[in-house]
Structures are given as structure tokens and as C-alpha cells.
Amino acid sequence: MLLKENSSILIPIDFSKQSLVAIRHSFNIAKLTKSKIIIMHVHKPGASNQASELESLRQEIIKESGLVVETLNFEGDIYDTTDKKAEELQCMLIVVGLDTHVRFRSFMGSNQASKFIKKSPCPVITIRSTTGRMECKNIILPFDLSPESREKVGIAVQLANYYKADLRIVSVFPPSDHKYENKLLPYLQQVKKFIKEKGVNCTNKSIPANDVAEAIIDYANKNDCDLIIQMNKKDKSLGEMFGGTMSEKMVDISNVPILTINPMKRESYSTGIH
């Protein structure tokens, strides 16, 4: 899976501070992929459509970034509309600002936000910070032994090459599960070798911990990381390290931007890693 160049980045906004941070966070990736920005406001029935504010914001973004910027303005549900428009416009990416204090509450409710990410036709970057990260020098790649985990390698290498960033492979395993650790380490070395062959500087780190999400966020903060790339796996079996609610928790607690990718809808997928 790779980001498409000469495409569109969709940014749903509610004019909150997080919305504006999400817009500015997208400037670099839009320039690197030669893509346009589409800012979309979806208002509740009977509420103001804020058309003049939307146009003023568009002009401000053009002046600040020099990018091609379009606007969309609809009445309806922000989540359903975002997924529908992203698919209709074949967007390569959705960037959304989430409230820094309330879980999944930047727009209208936790369950809806979770479903929005799971139904998204393209990768989604979620941002809780109120300050934008203009650079991206360290990217975290959480890894486990599941087949889905390798699907994010291609996009991670692509982003690392765009930003001239380092990739940090991080794997979390239960402290008492030595068998899992022994299986994991050779695989991490294989993935690391593959990434380095693509011209990207890469390190790997194994962390014994019981809470995967908290361990990864803690590592990200201690190592000044700028982005976490995770899979939004649909299998919620207990044996999956990053399945179901784990990926949701990552989005919920991270002050570092997270790029969430849904699994490929096919029986087999290969990144070249065997």
C-alpha cells in the first residue's frame, strides 16, 4: 500500500483549534505528493453552513501554503460524509483533528469516530496536539507477527523517503512470553534489513510490557517521534497484539499524530518481505 501522488487530502473541519492544526499538518505531505487539499465542513441540519468563514479559511491556506485548496460544505453527519466523499473523490488521505481532552469527541461521539476510521477508504491521520509538527524526522512502526502488520511497511518506507526520516520499528510483547519474543526478534531483523535496502535508516526496539498502546506512546514521547503508523486490524481475537480496541486506544491516548491504515481487502498481500 502506497500513497498516491497528484491526488487529494481531505480534511473535515469544525473550525476548532484541532481542525486548524490538522490543516497545517497536511501542508508538507501535500507538497511532497503534489496533492491538493480539500477542506470540508459538515454542519448539522438547521445550523449555519459558515460558507463565508470557509472561503476566508481557503484564501488564508492558499496564501500561507501556496497549495491548491478546494472546499466542500454539506449538511449531514460528519463521519458518514467524510468516508463517502473520500471514496467518491478517490482521496489518498484523510487528516482529522481530535479534541485533546475528550476521547474521540472533536466531532460527535466516540463510537461514530471509531466506525469512521474503520470504514475509511484510505489511510487516516488523527491529530490531538494543538501544535502542528512541521517536520517528520522519526516515524514509529509498531510490529507484531500478524500478516497484517507487514502491510504498512510500504507506506512507511514511502513517507520516510519523502521526509528523509528514520524508521523506528517497535514491538511490544508480554514480559512472561519468551516464546513470542524469540519468534519476533528474527522477523524484526528481516523487516529491518528490507527497509534498509530501500535506503531508509532503521532501528528496532523490543519492549516487554503488558499494555501495548501505553508502551508505544511512552517510547514515542521519550524518543521525540513525529508519527506512528499502525494497522487497524479487524480481527479482535485475544491473540492479536494490535487488533480491534488496541488500535482505537492508540488513537485515543496518543499526543503524537497517528496514521491508521485499514487492512487490504484481499487474501494475500506482499511487500517483498518473506
The answer on pLDDT for 147 being more than 90 is: no
Q: Are residues 191 and 222 in the same domain?
A: yes
Residue 80 falls within a domain, yes or no? yes
Higher-scoring residue by pLDDT: 211, 146: 211
Helix axes 245-253 and 110-119, enclosed angle (nearest 10): 110
Q: What is the mean pLDDT of residues 76-90?
A: 92
What whole-number distance in Å separates Cα of residue 21 and Cα of residue 11?
11
270 assigned to some structural domain:
no
Q: Are residues 99 and 14 in the same domain?
A: yes
Element (H, E) at 65: helix 51-65
Do 123 and 154 belong to one domain?
no
Task: Please state the domain count of the chain.
Answer: 2
- On whether both 58 and 94 belong to a single domain, the answer is yes
Among 127, 149, 174, the domain boundary falls at: 127
- Nearest C-alpha neighbor of 215 from the set 165, 142, 144, 160: 142
| 225 and 168 belong to one structural domain | yes
Q: Are residues 143 and 248 part of one domain?
A: yes
Residue 272 lies in a domain: no
Contacts of 68 (CB under 8 A, 6+ apart): 36, 37, 62
Whether 142 maps to a domain, the answer reads: yes
Q: Of 79, 104, 127, which residue is a domain's last?
A: 127
Sign of CA dihedral 184, 187, 193, 198: negative
Is residue 273 assigned to a domain? no
Residue 271 lies in a domain: no
Residue 3 lies in a domain: no
- Return the pLDDT at 182: 83
Final residue belonging to a domain, choices 127, 156, 180: 127
Kindly write down the DSSP assignment for every residue of 133-154, as one continuous string: -----EEEEE--SSGGGGGGHH
Question: Can you tell me the mean pLDDT for 200-206?
Answer: 94
Q: Does residue 142 sit in the same domain as residue 257?
A: yes
Top pLDDT among 249 and 66 is at 66
The pLDDT of residue 211 is 92
| pLDDT, tens digit, 9 for 90 and up, residues 6-58 | 999 999 998 888 888 999 999 999 999 999 999 999 988 888 889 999 999 99
Distance between CA 46 and CA 59 in Å, rounded? Answer: 26
Average pLDDT over residues 52-71: 96
As a whole number of angstroms, the distance between CA 62 and CA 251 comes to: 29
Q: Is the pLDDT of residue 128 over 90?
A: no
All cell numbers assigned to 221 = 514521547
Residues of the chain with pLDDT > 90, as a percent, come to: 57
Q: Do 241 and 143 share a structural domain?
A: yes
105-127 pLDDT tens trace:
444 444 566 778 888 999 999 99
pLDDT mean across residues, the chain: 85
Out of 11-15, 86-90, 185-189, 194-198, least confident range: 185-189
Question: Residue 138: how many CB atoms within 10 A of its CB?
Answer: 19
In this structure, the answer to whether residues 178 and 234 fall within a common structural domain is: yes
pLDDT band at 195 (very low <50, low <70, confident <90, very high): very high
| Spatial strand order in the sheet of 202-208 | 69-75, 36-43, 8-13, 93-97, 124-127, 258-261, 227-231, 138-142, 166-173, 202-208
Check if the beta carbon of residue 92 is closer than 8 Å to that of residue 122.
Answer: yes
Pair (237, 144) in one structural domain: yes
Asked if 102 and 16 sit in the same domain, the reply is yes
Residue 132 falls inside a structural domain:
no
Q: What is the pLDDT of residue 267?
A: 46
SS3 74: strand
CATH number at 12 reads 3.40.50.620
Residue 155 lies in domain? 138-261
The reply to whether 96 and 196 lie within a common domain is no
